[in-house]
Amino acid sequence: MDPSAESIAGVDEVGRGCLFGPVFAGAVVLTEVAAVELLAEGLTDSKALTVRRRARLVPLIEEAATAWALGQASAREIDALGIRSATELSMLRALQRLPTPLQLVLVDGVLPLRLWMGPQRTVVRGDSKCAAIAAASVLAKQARDGLIKRLASRFYGYGLERHVGYGTAIHRRALLDLGPTALHRRSFLTKLFAVNGSLT
């Protein structure tokens, strides 16, 4: 018997390629009716949505979802474990926070979630094909961006409020001028500092 939509979670991560801050994951369970309604509201891959459209979708997703949760792995965990393992840890944490027993997890991408012991299926470009994965990406993206923008006032001068931790030219220049903070992923900075100076 195929699992019902009420027992299927979509999971996706955001911030994998950033130089600063945690990687976030979202996990969302949607009924078929909720999925159709959210798609009609414009739900799709978070990267294809404007900030305003993502912000409008968040309360709709939270209200329509049977269950939803977020998880994260810190910059320190990324440096210690590597980005793939830390990303999987953030996904596992999101899934473990769901109150709904799951019969199937749909994972965005081509790589399975090695930490998940239950049934799972990878979905290539799942954030544009599967409503639950898209919803997970929107919630995770909005939550992570909000956190990084709040941290921008604490770590002034890096332009975090503009690039939310990605390796833009402004961010790389600030790193060379100011050095990394405690929340930078030092394992991501070795090439930058190998070319331009020592990583202290």
Express each pLDDT in 135-181 by its tens digit.
999 999 999 999 999 999 999 999 999 999 999 999 999 999 999 99
Nearest-CA neighbor of 12 among 82, 94, 80, 83? 94
Span 20-44, mean pLDDT?
A: 97
The single residue listed with the structure tokens 């331009």 is 196
Question: Is it the case that residue 111 has pLDDT exceeding 90?
Answer: yes
SS3 105: strand
Q: What are the backbone angles phi and psi of residue 80, rounded to the nearest 5°? A: -80, -40
Contact of 42 with 61, CB cutoff 8 Å: no
pLDDT bracket for residue 100 (50, 70, 90): confident
Percent of the chain with pLDDT over 70: 94
**Would you say residue 194 has pLDDT above 80?**
no
Residue 35 has pLDDT above 90, yes or no: yes
Single out the residue of 172, 186, 179, 181 nearest to residue 152, CA to CA.
181
Of 167, 139, 157, 128, give the one whose Cα is nearest residue 14.
139
Rounded-to-integer distance, Cα 99 and Cα 160, Å: 33
The CA distance from 155 to 71, in Å, is 23
**Residue 81 vs residues 114, 127, 146, 187: alpha-carbon distances, Å:** 14, 25, 25, 10
Domain 5-143 is in which class?
alpha beta
